[in-house]
Amino acid sequence: MNGPRTKIVAGAVALALALAPAAVQAQNIPQTSLQNPVLGSVPGGKATSEMLSLTLSDAIDRALRQNLGVLFGNDAVLSARGETWQERSRLLPNLSARVAENAAQVNLAAQGFQKVAGHFGGGFPLVIGPFGFFDVRAYLSQSLVDLNARHSERAAESNLTAEQFSYQDARETVALVVGVLYLDVLTAASRVQTAEAQVQTAQALQNQAADLRRTGVSAGIDVLRAQVELQTRQQELIAARNALAKQDLVLARAIGLPLDQVFRLADTVPYEAADAPGLDDALKTALATRADFQSAQARVSKAEEQRRAATAQRLPSLSANADYGVIGPTPGQTHGTFTASAALRVPIFTGNKVHGDELVAQGELDRSRQRLENLRAQIEQDVRTVFLDLRAAADQVAVARSNVDLAQQTLAQSRDRFGAGVSDNIEIVQAQESLARANESYISSLHDYNLARMQLARATGAAERQIRQYGKEQ
């Protein structure tokens, strides 16, 4: 039988594979917060001595405030908004002002002038000054026609939209991760409870074997066999408690709780028949609502605008510049002056830079379209896979529940036979092993079923809204 530790590690691997890139999935390596931000957080607050009662909805709310994946997504949106304003600034007026008090002395000989005789006999001096003047001036520049800047700004807007959808997708992913981790803690706690019950049963059977040995009904080997079984169950209980403590730490890290905060889970995630939509409806819903698909569509729009911006570099651009101010020898002796100009820039030959930019932009556009179509197929695969898992897990729960009932009956009959002296306790040990396997199978099947329900919510783009509803108060 696989021990609780093995099951916890398997759960961690499954979670990592659900979120990891393909290169990590291929290696079957569980991740840490350094590899996957959604497993980490920025802890908030200080630990208290009071026991914290944590519902599934509370855990998701905490994670949406503190989880590193959500925080990184929000930062990406902020950066994309800044990049949009950077591109937009090329289209908006640029206004500045300058106040200057100037002092100068000019050597005309350095400019090629030579002293010559003039009508006044002395010519003009080669060194002028020192002299000074005062200048207050405002400068305005405005792009009138620049299609390259226009398409670049639209590309930045599409990128902002993509990042906003990516942020929403990060929230969906975090909701799934927290739901799965909450479920893992509940599963680990169930294993502890089962292990405690098995220890109690093994202790009772060891006492029974000792009593029968004292009355001469059973052999000494039955006592030894019962002691071995008791110690085996005690070892499993120790491992189960350790696995639960570690799973608590994983959940606390993901939702931003201080690691020394004591908490208990206030909800259960019981077995409930899934009210799943039809496969076709689920596929349509997924393509219409999944934020990662909408983000990929926005990135295609961004690449298209970048391609247009590259082509627009071949076109003329028109800009206007003007300045107005007052200038004079002193602030009290000034006169207004201005300049105004309109410039038409016509690119003639740019060393094939535009052609190179077009090729780069076209390559990125092709990749964006390919990623979109690949994601479309991946979404369909995700939905179909979850439907298969949901049906299989529901059948496994029914079979596992029946196996637990049968194993309990077998153990009870074996104890009766041993107590009556009909058989030794080999049957009891075997029945205990069967019951332990049946309990583990039932716990695992419940975990897999509820995991499939959460994955269905994620696959259809409703994780943040639906998963918090799965918890039931204990």
- State yes or no: pLDDT of 273 exceeds 90: no
Is residue 265 domain-shared with residue 294, that is, in the same domain?
yes
For 366-412, write each residue's pLDDT tens digit. Answer: 999 999 999 999 999 999 999 999 999 999 999 999 999 998 898 88
d(CA 367, CA 375): 12
Is residue 224 domain-shared with residue 294, that is, in the same domain?
yes
**Residue 127, in any domain of the structure:** yes
**Residue 13, in any domain of the structure:** no
Q: What is the CATH number of the domain that holds 251?
A: 1.20.1600.10
Is residue 336 domain-shared with residue 300, that is, in the same domain?
no
d(CA 387, CA 143): 55
- Nearest Cα residue to 236 out of 432, 409, 407: 432
Q: Where are the alpha helices (DSSP H) in 31-146?
A: 56-66, 68-88
**Residue 63, in any domain of the structure:** yes
User: What stretch of H or E contains 155?
Assistant: helix 147-214
* pLDDT value, residue 170: 95
Is residue 343 domain-shared with residue 254, that is, in the same domain?
no
Is residue 192 domain-shared with residue 243, that is, in the same domain?
yes
Is residue 180 domain-shared with residue 71, that is, in the same domain?
yes
Give me the mean pLDDT over the 218-225 stretch. Answer: 80
**Residue 25, in any domain of the structure:** no
User: Could you give the number of structural domains in the chain?
Assistant: 2
DSSP string across 260-275: T--EEE-EE-------
**Residue 5, in any domain of the structure:** no
d(CA 303, CA 145): 22
Is residue 303 domain-shared with residue 326, that is, in the same domain?
no
Is residue 66 domain-shared with residue 128, that is, in the same domain?
no
**Residue 10, in any domain of the structure:** no
- State yes or no: pLDDT of 169 exceeds 70: yes
Is residue 469 domain-shared with residue 327, that is, in the same domain?
no
The range of the structural domain enclosing residue 466 comes to 39-91+150-313+364-473
Asked if residue 125 has a cis previous peptide bond (ω within 30° of 0), the answer is: no
Q: Would you tell me how many other CB atoms lie within 10 Å of the CB of residue 139?
A: 15
* pLDDT value, residue 310: 96
Is residue 200 domain-shared with residue 239, that is, in the same domain?
yes
- In the chain, what percentage of residues exceed pLDDT 90? 64
- State yes or no: pLDDT of 278 exceeds 80: yes
**Residue 358, in any domain of the structure:** no
Q: Would you tell me how many other CB atoms lie within 10 Å of the CB of residue 128?
A: 12
Is residue 440 domain-shared with residue 339, that is, in the same domain?
no
User: What stretch of H or E contains 40?
Assistant: none
Q: Given the DSSP bridges, would you call strands 333-345 and 317-330 parallel, antiparallel or unpaired?
A: antiparallel
Number of residues that make up the chain: 474
For 412-427, write each residue's pLDDT tens digit. Answer: 888 888 777 777 677 8
- State yes or no: pLDDT of 346 exceeds 80: yes
Lowest-confidence pick of 73-82, 104-113, 122-131, 242-251: 122-131
* pLDDT value, residue 33: 59
349: Cβ–Cβ under 8 A, 6 or more apart, which residues?
Answer: none
d(CA 79, CA 84): 9
For 77-122, write each residue's pLDDT tens digit. Answer: 999 999 999 999 999 999 999 999 999 998 888 888 776 544 444 5
* pLDDT value, residue 6: 45
Lowest-confidence pick of 268-282, 323-337, 454-468: 268-282
* Of 37-41, 45-49, 253-257, 330-334, highest mean pLDDT: 253-257
* pLDDT value, residue 144: 94
- State yes or no: pLDDT of 447 exceeds 60: yes
Is residue 204 domain-shared with residue 342, that is, in the same domain?
no
d(CA 394, CA 358): 54
- pTM equals 0.82
**Residue 96, in any domain of the structure:** no
- For residue 105, the SS3 value is strand
